[in-house]
C-alpha cells in the first residue's frame, strides 16, 4: 500500500527537479503497488485537501477540483505550501518517535 507521505515525497522530489507529476508518472513510480486508477485517486484526495495544485492556471471555481467531464490524466500537479508543511509534520513525528516519545 502506498501512503500519502510517499506520494507527497515523490511530488516534492519532482518539484525540486522542476517537474510536475501526472497520474501516469505516479503509477509508474509505484508500479508494483499502485494502479493508474489508484494514482488518480491519490491525486484527487491530495488536491481536495489542498496539499497539491495543478501546475497550470485554472478558473477560481475549479482551482482544487475537476470541471464536469474533465479528465485528471493530462493534469500536472505540484506541491503546495500546505503539502510541504504536511511533509514537515511527518518528519517531526519521526523525530518524536525516534526520541522514544510515542503519541
Q: Is 49 helix (H, G, I), strand (E, B) or coil?
A: coil
> Per residue in 20-37, pLDDT tens?
999 999 999 999 999 999
| CATH number assigned to the domain comprising residue 93 | 1.10.10.10
Instruction: Spell out a b/e string for 79-94, using b for 16 or more CB atoms within 10 Å of the CB, else e.
Output: bbeebeebbeeeeeee
Round to whole Å and give the CA distance between 65 and 51.
12
Give the total number of structural domains in the chain. 1
Residues near 1 by beta carbon (within 8 Å), at least 6 away in sequence: 33
Domain of 34 in residue numbering reads as: 4-98
pTM tops 0.85, yes or no:
yes
- For residue 100, the tally of other CB atoms under 10 A from its CB is 6
Q: Is residue 92 part of a domain?
A: yes
**100 vs 73: which has the higher pLDDT:** 73
List alpha helices for the chain, DSSP H. Answer: 4-16, 23-29, 36-48, 81-98
Q: Is residue 58 part of a domain?
A: yes
| pLDDT at residue 56, as a whole number | 83
Amino acid at each position: 500500500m502506498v501512503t500519502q507521505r510517499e506520494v507527497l515525497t515523490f511530488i516534492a522530489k519532482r518539484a525540486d527537479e522542476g517537474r510536475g507529476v501526472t497520474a501516469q508518472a505516479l503509477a509508474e513510480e509505484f508500479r508494483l503497488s499502485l494502479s493508474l486508477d489508484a494514482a488518480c485517486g491519490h491525486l484527487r484526495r491530495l488536491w481536495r485537501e489542498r496539499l497539491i495544485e495543478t501546475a497550470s492556471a485554472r478558473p477560481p471555481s475549479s482551482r482544487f477540483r475537476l470541471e464536469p467531464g474533465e479528465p485528471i490524466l493530462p493534469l500536472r500537479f505540484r506541491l503546495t505550501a500546505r503539502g510541504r508543511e504536511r511533509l514537515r509534520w511527518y518528519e517531526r513525528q519521526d523525530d518524536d518517535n525516534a526520541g522514544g516519545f510515542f503519541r
